[in-house]
């Protein structure tokens, strides 16, 4: 009879700590300048640079740095993402994904919206930010004997392979 109480207590503690983590995450960028606290603003500035001086943009290898630059924002938005659970949101439903997808369509001044930086933006972020997270989840949480978890993992792999191609 003690086991259900212990289990309930563990769930309660987990939910309390999850709430605390969420609150801390919400406060993470509160003192950051407006231009650097959202994915959309950062991408807008990067694309303005690309539109103004493509040569210096390419010499600075900015496209290689973008996943690292955007990584903290992507990870923050995906803090509660549980890809092994049935109620997990697909990648394309997250704000960061939508903002990267729409990059270059605003008035950034970029003439070529099929520029390789734009085309590879989402695949690079998925490869450099999401795949390490999913690898850690597979190593630490995945139960290969769970049909639900394996199905959800397979669905994620199918969707992410379409993104990367």
49 located within any domain:
yes
Residue 110 contacts residue 104 (beta carbons within 8 Å):
yes
Show the DSSP H helices in the chain as ranges: 2-26, 39-52, 54-59, 62-77, 95-101, 116-119, 121-125, 131-140, 147-164
- Specify the pLDDT at position 1: 47
- Specify the pLDDT at position 23: 74
5 located within any domain:
no
Which has the closest alpha carbon to 125: 84, 73, 47?
73
- Specify the pLDDT at position 7: 63
- Please return the burial class of 48, using the count of CB atoms within 10 Å of its CB with bins 0-12, 13-18 and 19+: middle
CA-CA distance, 18 to 158, in Å (whole number)?
29
CA-CA distance, 37 to 45, in Å (whole number)?
12
13 located within any domain:
no
- The band of 97, judged by pLDDT with boundaries at 50, 70 and 90, is very high
In this predicted structure, which of 24-28, 93-97, 125-129 has the lowest mean pLDDT? 24-28
3 located within any domain:
no
Tens digit of each residue's pLDDT (9 = 90 or more) over 107-126: 566 667 678 888 899 999 99
**pLDDT surpassing 70 at residue 133:** yes
Sequence-distant (≥ 6) Cβ neighbours of residue 136 within 8 angstroms: none
4 located within any domain:
no
Exposure string for 68-83, b = 16+ CB within 10 A, e = fewer:
eebeebbbebbeebeb
CA-CA distance, 155 to 90, in Å (whole number)?
9
- Specify the pLDDT at position 144: 95
Domain count of the fold of the chain: 1
**pLDDT surpassing 70 at residue 6:** no
8 located within any domain:
no
Residue 118: C-alpha distances to residues 109, 113, 144 (Å): 13, 7, 36
31 located within any domain:
yes
What is the domain range of residue 90? 26-164
131 located within any domain:
yes
CA-CA distance, 129 to 75, in Å (whole number)?
7
Tell me the average pLDDT of the chain.
Answer: 86
Tens digit of each residue's pLDDT (9 = 90 or more) over 64-84: 999 999 999 999 999 889 999
- Specify the pLDDT at position 109: 66
The two tokens of residue 137 are 């989840």
């Amino acid at each position: 009879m003690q086991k259900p109480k212990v289990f309930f207590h563990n769930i309660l503690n987990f939910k309390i700590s999850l709430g605390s983590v969420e609150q801390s995450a919400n406060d993470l960028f509160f003192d950051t300048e407006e231009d650097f606290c959202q994915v959309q603003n950062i991408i807008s500035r990067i694309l303005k640079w690309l539109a103004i001086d493509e040569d210096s943009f390419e010499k600075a290898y900015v496209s290689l740095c973008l996943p690292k630059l955007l990584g903290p924002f992507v990870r923050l938005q995906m803090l509660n993402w549980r890809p092994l659970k049935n109620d997990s949101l697909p990648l394309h439903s997250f704000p960061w994904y939508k903002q990267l997808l729409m990059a270059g369509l605003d008035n950034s001044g970029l003439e070529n919206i099929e520029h390789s930086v734009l085309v590879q933006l989402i695949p690079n972020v998925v490869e450099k930010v999401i795949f390490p997270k999913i690898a850690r989840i597979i190593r630490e949480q995945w139960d290969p004997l769970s049909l639900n978890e394996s199905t959800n993992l397979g669905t994620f792999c199918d969707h992410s392979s379409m993104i990367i191609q």
